[in-house]
Structure 1
Amino acid sequence: MQQTKSDLKIGKKENVRVFEKMKEENRDVFSSYPLAFDGYKNAYSVDVLPSFKEKKTLTFEVILALEEDDDDPVSCTVQISLGISRKLRELMESLNCTDIHKKIPSTIFRMLDTMLRYRRSLRYEAVGKKRFFSVNREINHPIDIGPAVQGVAGFFSSMKASAHEKGSIMINIDLAHTTFYKEQPLLDFIKNVLHVERKDLNAPLDTEIRKRLECGLVDLRVETTHIPRTYRIIGLGMHGPDRQKFPWNNKESGKIEQRTVQDYFNKEYNKSIKYPKLICIQAYPEEKNIYLPLEYCVVARGQRSFGNLSNNEAGNFIRSSAIPPGRRLEQIKKIYNDNEFAKDEMIASLKFEVAKSPFTVTGRVLSPPKLRMGQVVQPKTGEWDTRREKFYLGAAVNTWAVIDYTSTWEGSLEKYIRNLRSLGDRKGMVFKSPVIVTKGNRKNVTQQFQNLKKKFPEIQMILVVLEEADPLYSCIKTVGDLEIRVITQCVKKRCVEECRFVTIGNLLFKINAKMGGINTIWSRRPKLMEQLLMVMGADVNHPSAGDARTPSMAAVVASIDKYVSKYAVEVRPQKHRNEIIHEFKEMTKNLLKSFCEALNNCKPKRIIVYRDGVSDIQFSQVLQHELLAIREACKELEETYKPAITFVVVMKRHHTRFFPVNEMGKNIPPGTVVDSGITHPIERDFYLCSHHGIKGTSRPAHYHVLWDDNNLTMDQLQEFTYNMCHVYSRCSKSVSLPAPVAYAHLAAFRAKVHATEANMQESELDNIKMNREKELSSKLYYI
């Protein structure tokens, strides 16, 4: 698309509006076949438009206002050229193929996916390519989750290839949730979202305040209250309405005059300015010099929120989006019927037929492994009773300290320490009295920790009492992990004062594992562990939305004992939002060395890698880089060293949900496996729900086997994976992911805490050296 103004840039939404108006004004050209547009450069139809028989390129002129309520429409030139032709038969043949090296043609699949979602993208607010939302209560009422944001329900819709009937295409529909900004005065938005008080908005602005406002306000749409118009913010003025001037065309004199915003509002609209010193916003288009007072602006509805939610908002959002399985299934069916997928003109033009009810698939439930603590315990419905059980291997906590950064009553703290030691002893730990119990100095945490380390060089752990959601947490973890390299365990003041044995018991699970103990092992080792096995977990933590400067953090963990219970960790910063782990070879080599040191210089014969956070379009890239990196690490350790490697990608961010047919309204039980029907038609994958869903609808993990030198059967891999979900050190429950994946996730998140606390920038990557001291690299300091 081309616009008459060379400097005018329009986005995807505006492109679609131009495209739709072009179709509407030229129905004789576009009536033959439905046409879907991706919002950028590609449009798809089931056959060639008749007009292309006469011309290779079609050109249309479209005139419309690109911004809502804009009284200055622009002329757009749209050129459509005939693109490539792909036969649907290629896709269907690939779905029926049994050759594992045969790839499903991604171009055709992308075309079909665009055609499926196009009608939905016109009706709803699209977030990404596959999620659709409406703030008009078409799906569900918005939920108030905070002073400035609301939770909005929508749906996910996508096509996927499946193994059903030797290969077929399915439509995946599920509920989706996100947050939108509320309609609210712009001054309230600035206070509640950007955390800038009204007194700080007086011109001229502080440099840091201006930067924060520009970051949070640019591209935000606002409605004005003096006239019914919608504007898009493009920046800030330099002054308040009393001094902010703009060129005004005096029609009487025919001259351009400089006029203040305050004078203009007073005389043109008979509106007074209550806050004449507050900075003005500038609205699109820039050349019109539109400046608006903050007090006459309201945040327009239908805008997705960005940035981090507060702890309270995040909790409210999670609770509001936890939909029980019975209600979730009914809402999915309603979405399907309301959107008339079966009658979709695109689907009809492809001569596809869509089933009228959800697909039924057969699954099975795996038996949980027996576990050994003090005695053998048998998990039931995803958990086991540990109240009378000792840890398999209790740690010794000989030298430790307590620092209280709250106003906890001294008697409460003494009682808590007594009960912590008493219960620790009953769990098989050695828990001596703390060498010091002291009040914390919030103004100088680093110095206090360093003094403690200097006074007690053998100190193993520092127990820290904090307030709820205490901002000091990041500082404590950074100083403990990187400065003095001592285990830290934080506990909330509320938990100290309540002093419940249940919460103390949960805390001891973490402390024992952090201090080198082993909480739980399998009572019977799987057959594949007859040869020495190392299990690895890998994940990358990316910066929050809106943060363009902080690097991503990659973490890889590996088991270093014969029980796959103790783990070493390697963490590296890398380029912003890059998912491929660039230093995988060096990290793996260090982990192999840690394994050898812990097991009398023996190297693992087998390696199983669980890789989290990878989407299906990145499979080949991950395999080429990261599998090769592991092989090279082994070779550098010893030229002839070639262990058998199994590489499995674990995906949680998907929208496949299972609902038991005979127990409608309930979640599927822990251990449920599905490996047919909806799985990939060619590649090896399976779904496993390993945890008990307490609230909302259980989401199974999706496991995709990218490589398997160990020649494991699907039954072997599924059983081993399910077993790995039972040895997570933080609790006595089976969790939704194998333990090493969960550890890698936590380690990467802890590295993000370190980076944020140190204000680490991606531009400094070459100079950043993450702490790799041995004191903590072989401990679960991050759990």
Structure 2
Amino acid sequence: PAGGATATGAMSIVSPAAAPPPDLPVLTCPRRPNLGHEGRPIMLRANHFQISMPRGFVHHYDVNIQPDKCPRKVNREIVETMVHCYNKIFGALKPVFDGRNNLYTRDPLPIGNDRVELEVILPGEGKDRVFRVTIKWVAQVSLFALEEALEGRTRQIPYDAILALDVVMRHLPSMMYTPVGRSFFSSPEGYYHPLGGGREVWFGFHQSVRPSQWKMMLNIDVSATAFYKAQPVIEFMCEVLDIRDINDQRKPLTDSQRVKFTKEIKGLKIEITHCGTMKRKYRVCNVTRRPAQMQSFPLQLENGQTVECTVAKYFLDKYKMKLRYPHLPCLQVGQEHKHTYLPLEVCNIVPGQRCIKKLTDMQTSTMIKATARSAPDREREINNLVRRANFNTDLYVKEFGLTISNNMMEVRGRVLPPPKLQYGGRVSSLGGQQALPNQGVWDMRGKQFFMGVEIRVWAIACFAPQRTVREDALKNFTQQLQKISNDAGMPIIGQPCFCKYATGPDQVEPMFKYLKSTFVQLQLVVVVLPGKTPVYAEVKRVGDTVLGMATQCVQAKNVNKTSPQTLSNLCLKINVKLGGINSILVPSLRPKVFNEPVIFLGVDVTHPPAGDNKKPSIAA
């Protein structure tokens, strides 16, 4: 029939199942042939701490919480409350939970394979919240199988056991600190690193369970990230808008100020201060265009009548509170259609909110300075972290029979001899053509590239304004670059065929097209940039992917004040871009792997920031 196939009666027809696809061969990586012997032996300390574990099983349960829109922190509260309330099921057991669906116990729960549904009540602000928690047995996880794999008796590592251990190690820190990805943070105590714009640096620690060649390891490292400072919203606004004193802001915010403030505070949680001990929390969805003395909303009176009332008048009538800053806007909180408005002065930024918005260049610079550590300092901080954490007194770690070493793992390393580099050019003595790196550094003075390119047709495009980089600075830069490049065996002959000023990324493509069509033999475009700018990305897009033109960017500050070191580094990059060879390994000492053509592929994985569930991890 036209409407599709129909069936009558109780009989149903089952199509024969399609043949399953053939099993694909499992890829097994070749075993490591040996541990290597070249180089000078050295003892190293790695920030890994050995985990000793029992040989038995742990029991894995699936947990489903309804309603299911709760953040991990609330889910943990629900499970903790459940464990304390249902003594018949959990008894003296101390389950661990990952904040989503996975719960592990040392001994099995007395529920068999049945699905158990429990009611959990959390006290809330105003009224209690009721949740339904369903628990279902999933599997027995073998720690013995994990030990067998680590000691090389089986090839397959059971990752379900590693996940279980990771949940055990993270359970207590997740309740004590603010988790961000694999790191834990706590509010600053004894230090203060402001970033400006209402943001500050929080220090914490990264923790993860990792398999090694012989035992399970706990990897610990120091970490830092940006959080929003817990402070009154008025002060937050002043930081964002660079207002030194709120009393200087006697007028309403301008449109540009309001847009900037909205961009920073939208999505943040605030808590109210005008209702005594009940500090109810809201999420900001907008900032009003009108100030509190003009922003109105429909107010329902006791007689059922609805009238328009301003926020300032409502606070005066309801709370006997005359606003100090009625000329400032309100925060719109909760759902937009509900029209809930709060004056800035009755709101505080809730502590413990990580900043996921992009840091400014200045904030990034401050962050790097605040977090830079030498290796000995970092080692000292990690050891202090482990001592303070005192993992072996963690009741959940003890419950599962784990013991964590207090000492960093010592491993044997090898310092390989540095490769000898061969240079070329006009230098006559053989010794002068070779360089031996020392501590990763070598001296190129008096040496020329193994194969230097001769540059005859080149251009300069200056995207810094003329008042910042004057013509005489460009001329001096050209002369100094030619001198250094000539010494390096990559002569830049004659003046640039083109030297013009430009502004903005939209001028890059037309200028480059003109250069390509006008100067057929053009080899290189030197681009002067005014600091960090979108011009750089456009130069590389057009040069590398559209027109196929070699480009070398240089910062305006390095043009105005030239240094031989910077110019030498520029020459190293330019020579390779134009097909030259800077140096080679001395042929007589070249490793055997280079006897035939060989290519090295570097592979890395870039992960999205913690909490970003939309962007994928990218391997490249």
Which shifted more, 435-444 or 391-400? 435-444
Change (3 A) 1:171 1:299: same
Structure 1 counterpart of 2:595, which letter?
E
Separation of aligned partners in 2, 1:302 and 1:329: 27
For residues 362-400 of structure 1, the C-alpha deviation after alignment (integer angstroms, 9 at most, x for no partner) is 222111111112311101001111122111111121111
For residues 588-623 of structure 1, the C-alpha deviation after alignment (integer angstroms, 9 at most, x for no partner) is xxxxxxxxxxxxxxxxxxxxxxxx6xxxxxxxxxxx
Separation of aligned partners in 2, 1:153 and 1:119: 18
Note if 1:426 corresponds to 2:464: no
Alignment partner, residue 478 of structure 1: 541
Q: In the alignment, which of 177, 181, 197 is matched to residue 224 of structure 2? A: 177
Note if 1:462 corresponds to 2:515: no
Structure 2 counterpart of 1:399, which letter?
V
Output the aligned Cα RMSD.
Answer: 3.4
Separation of aligned partners in 2, 1:233 and 1:469: 34
Alignment partner, residue 118 of structure 2: 59
Segments of 5+ residues of structure 1 without an aligned counterpart are 550-575, 581-611, 613-783
Alignment partner, residue 710 of structure 1: none
Q: In the alignment, which of 103, 110, 126 is matched to residue 71 of structure 1? A: 126
Q: In the alignment, which of 563, 587, 593 is matched to residue 528 of structure 1? A: 593
For residues 70-109 of structure 1, the C-alpha deviation after alignment (integer angstroms, 9 at most, x for no partner) is 333321222333332223222222222345xx21111121
Alignment partner, residue 274 of structure 1: 325
CA contact (8 A) 1:397 1:431 kept: yes
Alignment partner, residue 270 of structure 2: 222
Separation of aligned partners in 2, 1:54 and 1:392: 72
Separation of aligned partners in 2, 1:474 and 1:226: 49
Change (3 A) 1:244 1:388: same
Note if 1:334 corresponds to 2:384: yes
Note if 1:24 corresponds to 2:84: yes
Alignment partner, residue 577 of structure 1: 616
Separation of aligned partners in 1, 2:212 and 2:272: 50
Change (3 A) 1:473 1:297: farther
Task: Find the residue that maps to 1:291 and give its secondary structure.
Answer: strand
Note if 1:402 corresponds to 2:460: yes
Alignment partner, residue 500 of structure 1: 563
The Cα of 1:456 is off from its aligned counterpart by: 1.7
The Cα of 1:417 is off from its aligned counterpart by: 0.8
The Cα of 1:267 is off from its aligned counterpart by: 2.0
Change (3 A) 1:373 1:146: farther
Alignment partner, residue 147 of structure 2: 92
Separation of aligned partners in 1, 2:287 and 2:559: 51
Alignment partner, residue 740 of structure 1: none
Change (3 A) 1:545 1:54: closer
Change (3 A) 1:546 1:45: closer
Separation of aligned partners in 2, 1:238 and 1:332: 46
Structure 1 counterpart of 2:220, which letter?
I
Separation of aligned partners in 1, 2:386 and 2:367: 24
Matches within 5 A, 1:71-150: 71-99=126-154, 102-128=155-181, 130-137=182-189, 141-150=191-200
Change (3 A) 1:475 1:190: farther
For residues 283-342 of structure 1, the C-alpha deviation after alignment (integer angstroms, 9 at most, x for no partner) is 37x797532234543332211111322222222212221222222222212211211112
CA contact (8 A) 1:513 1:519 kept: yes
The Cα of 1:458 is off from its aligned counterpart by: 2.1
Separation of aligned partners in 1, 2:167 and 2:476: 63
Task: Find the residue that maps to 1:533 and give its secondary structure.
Answer: coil
Structure 2 counterpart of 1:391, which letter?
F
Q: In the alignment, which of 557, 566, 577 is matched to residue 514 of structure 1? A: 577
Separation of aligned partners in 2, 1:75 and 1:311: 46
Change (3 A) 1:493 1:185: farther
Change (3 A) 1:192 1:332: same
CA contact (8 A) 2:293 2:310 kept: yes
Task: Find the residue that maps to 2:205 and give its secondary structure.
Answer: strand
Structure 2 counterpart of 1:174, which letter?
D
Give the TM-score taking structure 2 as reference length.
Answer: 0.77
Which shifted more, 446-455 or 324-333? 446-455
Structure 1 counterpart of 2:437, which letter?
P
The Cα of 1:256 is off from its aligned counterpart by: 6.1
The Cα of 1:426 is off from its aligned counterpart by: 0.8
The Cα of 1:249 is off from its aligned counterpart by: 5.2
The Cα of 1:126 is off from its aligned counterpart by: 0.4
The Cα of 1:198 is off from its aligned counterpart by: 4.0
Change (3 A) 1:474 1:26: same
The Cα of 1:420 is off from its aligned counterpart by: 0.4
Note if 1:417 corresponds to 2:469: no
Matches within 5 A, 1:530-679: 530-538=595-603, 577=616, 579=618
Change (3 A) 1:28 1:195: farther
Matches within 5 A, 1:715-726: none
Separation of aligned partners in 1, 2:443 and 2:205: 39
Structure 2 counterpart of 1:57, which letter?
V
Separation of aligned partners in 1, 2:295 and 2:131: 34
CA contact (8 A) 1:307 1:544 kept: no
CA contact (8 A) 2:65 2:134 kept: no
Separation of aligned partners in 2, 1:62 and 1:144: 40
Which shifted more, 396-405 or 436-445? 436-445
The Cα of 1:26 is off from its aligned counterpart by: 4.1
Change (3 A) 1:512 1:184: farther
Change (3 A) 1:244 1:545: farther
Structure 1 counterpart of 2:445, which letter?
R
Separation of aligned partners in 1, 2:402 and 2:617: 38
Separation of aligned partners in 1, 2:212 and 2:119: 40
The Cα of 1:176 is off from its aligned counterpart by: 1.4
CA contact (8 A) 1:465 1:490 kept: yes
The Cα of 1:454 is off from its aligned counterpart by: 3.0
Change (3 A) 1:277 1:149: closer
Change (3 A) 1:184 1:339: same
CA contact (8 A) 1:147 1:192 kept: yes
Structure 2 counterpart of 1:319, which letter?
K
Note if 1:436 corresponds to 2:502: no
Alignment partner, residue 157 of structure 1: 207
Change (3 A) 1:435 1:2: closer
Task: Find the residue that maps to 2:516 and give its secondary structure.
Answer: helix
CA contact (8 A) 1:342 1:354 kept: yes
CA contact (8 A) 2:421 2:435 kept: yes
The Cα of 1:278 is off from its aligned counterpart by: 3.3
Q: Size of the alignment, in residue pairs?
A: 531
* Greater radius of gyration (CA): 2
Note if 1:283 corresponds to 2:344: no
Change (3 A) 1:351 1:263: same
Structure 2 counterpart of 1:141, which letter?
Y
The Cα of 1:195 is off from its aligned counterpart by: 11
Task: Find the residue that maps to 1:413 and give its secondary structure.
Answer: helix
Give the TM-score taking structure 1 as reference length.
Answer: 0.62
